[in-house]
């Protein structure tokens, strides 16, 4: 049977998974809807999570250029990221999927399991130049369901003035022990240590994962000694006054605002704050999150995948492939990822980015060490694991449970 002619069944489980499989990065709110498509109309629909960009923006212009190159016109709708996955499932149920869907990478496996997306074997998208660790975020059961348009991740911003006043040399911060020692010096000097987001949402999980993975822990073993050590690290920082209790309610935006005040030595945040850092006038630097015993910890991959949803009219795929290929081509990725504050998914464009802006070097390094949240064949299991993880973090940091008990309860809930 031709793979495109299979009956696709959308499950309640997929809808439930999407309720928590939302991005950790912030986007403006947008809305829109798709209209029924006529295969002969020459109009192709594109849904993306970039409502902040209008038709006259660089992104809007690129879409029009790719459409012209493919000999069609594009009807584009920008949605809020948290809405896009559910709207996509509903559209698929109605037989009204967009031709091109650009979606947050943790959602890809959920949409794939629901039968919404075509594989790269089916849609002929070339992913040969994409860094394997980034491509893995869109893979499930040995199949690939799109190609990344770009990636972001987390690292540590640091305030050079605060560290200098505390007598801390950033080159000495190489692992958890040396980072904690630096925080102790900063506190002794009358300044504040580190801020991050530990809120009870996917953002909290997203921010905890570099420390979790940096300990050597696995998402399938939430209560391992390594996992407990990671949560204990955060708990001890709060206990010793190195991090504020407000991290329990901090989003990544409010955490950034704390760091931007100039009082904190470190702030865990992402590439999307680079423009804000420059605007704030901070004398700052960036280093990857350190692993427990040194090296760069694997932070979670953020960013979107360009995918081709299943269509009843399979004749549309050839043009959809042209549009997707144009959007992710080497010629276009540089400008697109600059606009989106993303690191490109290919080494060729990454090198071009760093040549143009040396501030991106630590971010390229962090992205190369990053890991997809749904990697390791977790797929649609990830959202449930993530929910229990952020609940464990909240329980431990609030003092209602020990790190060990909180993570043991999380594992039990997942099972």
Instruction: Output the CA torsion 70→54→273→253 (10° steps).
Output: -130
Q: Distance from first CA to last CA of the chain, Å, rounded?
A: 36
At 273, is the secondary structure helix, strand, or coil?
A: helix
CA distance readout (Å), 379 to 299, 376, 386, 415: 18, 8, 12, 15
Q: Which residues contact 56 (CB under 8 A, 6 or more apart)?
A: none
The pLDDT of residue 41 is 53
Residue with token string 């020990």: 402
Q: Which residues contact 343 (CB under 8 A, 6 or more apart)?
A: 150, 151, 152, 153, 271, 337, 350, 353, 360, 363, 364, 367
Q: Which residues of the chain have pLDDT under 70?
A: 1-41
- Cβ count near 291 (within 10 Å): 20
Q: From CA 254, how far away is CA 83, in angstroms rounded?
A: 22
> pLDDT per residue over 139-173, tens digit each?
988 999 999 999 999 999 999 999 999 999 999 99
Angle at 149 between CA 90 and CA 316, to 5 degrees: 55
> pLDDT per residue over 364-397, tens digit each?
999 998 999 988 778 888 989 999 999 999 999 9
3-state helix, strand and coil shares in percent for the chain, rounded to the nearest 5:
50, 15, 35
CA distance readout (Å), 86 to 20, 77, 80, 89, 97: 11, 15, 11, 5, 12
- Cβ count near 263 (within 10 Å): 15
CA distance readout (Å), 289 to 142, 268, 322, 402: 30, 8, 38, 24
316 half-sphere exposure, CB direction, 13 A CA radius: 23
The pLDDT of residue 403 is 98
The pLDDT of residue 29 is 30
Residue with token string 């690191």: 343
| 6-9, long-range: CB < 8 A, 24+ apart | 6/115, 8/92, 8/114, 8/115, 8/116, 8/310, 9/114, 9/115
At 139, is the secondary structure helix, strand, or coil?
A: strand
Report the residue count for the chain. 415
The pLDDT of residue 352 is 95
**Under 8 Å between Cβ of 283 and 175:** no
312 half-sphere exposure, CB direction, 13 A CA radius: 11
The pLDDT of residue 169 is 97
The pLDDT of residue 31 is 33
Catalogue all structural domains in the chain, each as residue range(s) with its CATH number: 3-152+302-369 (3.40.190.10), 154-299+378-414 (3.40.190.10)
Pairing of strands 43-48, 73-78: parallel
């Amino acid at each position: 049977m031709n793979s495109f002619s299979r009956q696709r069944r959308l499950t309640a489980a997929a809808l439930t998974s999407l309720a928590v499989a939302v991005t950790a990065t912030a986007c403006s709110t947008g809305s829109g809807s798709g209209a029924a498509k006529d295969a002969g109309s020459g109009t192709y629909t594109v849904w993306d999570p970039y409502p902040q960009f209008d038709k006259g923006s660089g992104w809007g212009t690129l879409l029009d250029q790719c459409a012209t190159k493919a000999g069609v016109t594009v009807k584009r709708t920008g949605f809020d990221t948290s809405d896009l996955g559910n709207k996509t499932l509903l559209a698929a149920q109605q037989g009204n999927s967009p031709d091109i869907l650009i979606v947050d990478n943790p959602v890809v496996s959920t949409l794939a399991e629901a039968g919404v997306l075509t594989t790269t074997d089916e849609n002929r998208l070339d992913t040969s130049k994409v860094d394997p660790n980034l491509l893995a975020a869109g893979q499930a059961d040995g199949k690939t369901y799109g190609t990344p348009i770009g990636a972001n991740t987390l690292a540590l911003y640091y305030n050079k003035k605060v560290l200098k006043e505390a007598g801390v040399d950033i080159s000495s911060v190489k692992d958890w022990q040396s980072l904690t020692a630096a925080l102790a010096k900063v506190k002794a000097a009358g300044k504040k240590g580190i801020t991050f987001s530990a809120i009870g949402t996917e953002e909290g999980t997203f921010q905890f994962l570099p420390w979790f993975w940096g300990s050597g822990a696995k998402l399938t073993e939430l209560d391992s000694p390594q996992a407990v050590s990671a949560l204990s690290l955060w708990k001890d920082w709060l206990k010793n006054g190195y991090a504020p209790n407000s991290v329990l309610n901090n989003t990544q935006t409010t955490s950034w605002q704390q760091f931007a005040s100039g009082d904190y030595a470190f702030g865990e945040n992402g590439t999307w704050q680079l423009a804000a850092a420059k605007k704030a006038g901070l004398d700052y630097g960036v280093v990857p999150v350190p692993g427990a015993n040194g090296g760069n910890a694997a932070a979670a991959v953020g960013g979107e995948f360009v995918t081709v949803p299943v269509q009843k009219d399979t004749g549309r795929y050839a043009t959809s492939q042209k549009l997707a290929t144009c959007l992710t081509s080497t010629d276009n990725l540089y400008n697109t990822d600059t606009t989106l504050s993303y690191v490109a998914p290919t080494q060729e464009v990454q090198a071009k980015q760093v040549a143009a802006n040396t501030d991106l070097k630590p971010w390229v390094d962090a992205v190369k060490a990053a890991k997809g949240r749904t990697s390791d064949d977790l797929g649609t299991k990830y959202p449930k694991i993530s929910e229990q993880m952020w609940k464990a973090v909240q329980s431990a940091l609030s003092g209602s449970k020990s790190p060990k008990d909180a993570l043991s309860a999380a594992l039990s809930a997942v099972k």
